[in-house]
Amino acid sequence: MLRYVTTNPGKVREAEEYLGEGVSQLDYDYTEIQSDDLGTIAARGAREAYRHAGEPTLVDDAGLFVRALDGFPGPYSSYAEDTIGVERTWELAREEDDRAASFRCVLAYCDGEGFDASPDPVDVDDRVAAAAAGPEADDDRETLPVKLFEGRVRGTLVEPRGEGGFGFDPIFEHEGATFAEMDEAEKNAISHRGRALAKFAEWHAER
Ligand code: ITT
């Protein structure tokens, strides 16, 4: 069984909508390393979760990138939501003339097996870090292959609207509606997570 590893029920609802009954949540709080690269964070999480669960794992690292704030909160979105919150993030953005933002999601898949080479990003940083750590590196960071799938969507930050979704959905508008005004299927059809899930689902079906 494929395990979607997250503590966030909003992510699980969206993944289930996409992947159906072939996936179930693993509520496991893997170590989230500090990095400005979503792929590196997700890859490390997928390896750790795979070692923990012994089953194929999918880890999703995602964030809101505000252009006028140089991409903040980006990989720190969960922390920003927990600390200043959605309303104050909107207040920061409201000060700016440029309200453009994007949501990005990287899915990392690990099942202990290797993968064919592909143009998808690999967690190069992770391998460089492992090599730099030298022979004392105490885990199998380098030897557990991970496959990454990325999705992005552009939008505009607006005053909060809507009751659905989670996180920053109420302030993220795409083609006239906020993500919180969409139902799961509507959001999945265009969202960062939906796009990453579509790439993953296509690849996984062939595997
Ligand atoms: P896990 O690490 O357990 O999966 P998390 O919510 O902490 O749960 P992330 O570290 O990936 O997950 O943080 C993502 C944060 O980015 C999330 O808490 C939201 O604040 C924001 N975010 C990501 N995707 C989002 C989406 O589709 N809609 C709204 N906000 C989103």
- The confidence score (pLDDT) of residue 123 equals 47
The response to whether residue 81 sits with its C-beta less than 6 Å from ligand 1 reads yes
In contact, 64 and 168? CB cutoff 8 Å:
yes
End-to-end CA distance of the chain: 14
Domain boundaries, position 65: 2-205
Averaged over 71-82, what is the pLDDT? Answer: 97
In contact, 169 and 186? CB cutoff 8 Å:
no
Strands, E assignment, the chain: 2-5, 23-26, 57-66, 100-110, 147-157, 172-174, 177-178
In contact, 190 and 99? CB cutoff 8 Å:
no
Averaged over 4-23, what is the pLDDT? Answer: 89
Residue 63 CA to ligand 1 centre (angstroms): 6
Residue 120 CA to ligand 1 centre (angstroms): 22
Protein residue with least CA distance to atom 28, ligand 1: 169
Q: How confident is the model at residue 17 (pLDDT cuts 50, 70, 90)?
A: confident
How many domains does one find in the chain? 1
If one counts every other C-beta atom within 10 angstroms of the C-beta of residue 136, the result is 5
Averaged over 29-50, what is the pLDDT? Answer: 92
Residue 135 CA to ligand 1 centre (angstroms): 34
Percentage of the chain exceeding pLDDT 70: 86
The response to whether residue 203 sits with its C-beta less than 6 Å from ligand 1 reads no
Query: Do the bridges between strand 23-26 and strand 2-5 make them parallel or antiparallel, or are there none, so unpaired?
Result: parallel
Lowest average pLDDT, out of 127-136, 145-154, 178-187, 193-202, goes to 127-136
pLDDT at 103 over 90: yes
* Total length of the chain: 207
Give the tokens for residue 106. 């990287």
- The confidence score (pLDDT) of residue 198 equals 94
Active-site amino acid positions: 61
CATH of the domain at 114: 3.90.950.10
Counts of helices then strands in the chain (DSSP H, E):
7, 7
In 3D space, the residue among 195, 172, 194 whose CA is nearest the CA of residue 185 turns out to be 194
Give the tokens for residue 58. 């999918």
Q: How confident is the model at residue 10 (pLDDT cuts 50, 70, 90)?
A: confident
pTM of the predicted model as reported, rounded to 2 decimal places:
0.88
Q: Which residue has the tokens 């993030």?
A: 89
pLDDT one-digit tens code per residue, 107-134 = 999 999 887 655 444 545 555 555 555 5
R_g (Cα) of the chain, nearest Å:
17
Query: Do the bridges between strand 147-157 and strand 57-66 make them parallel or antiparallel, or are there none, so unpaired?
Result: unpaired
Chain mean pLDDT for the chain? 89
The response to whether residue 7 sits with its C-beta less than 6 Å from ligand 1 reads yes
Averaged over 54-75, what is the pLDDT? Answer: 96
The response to whether residue 11 sits with its C-beta less than 6 Å from ligand 1 reads yes
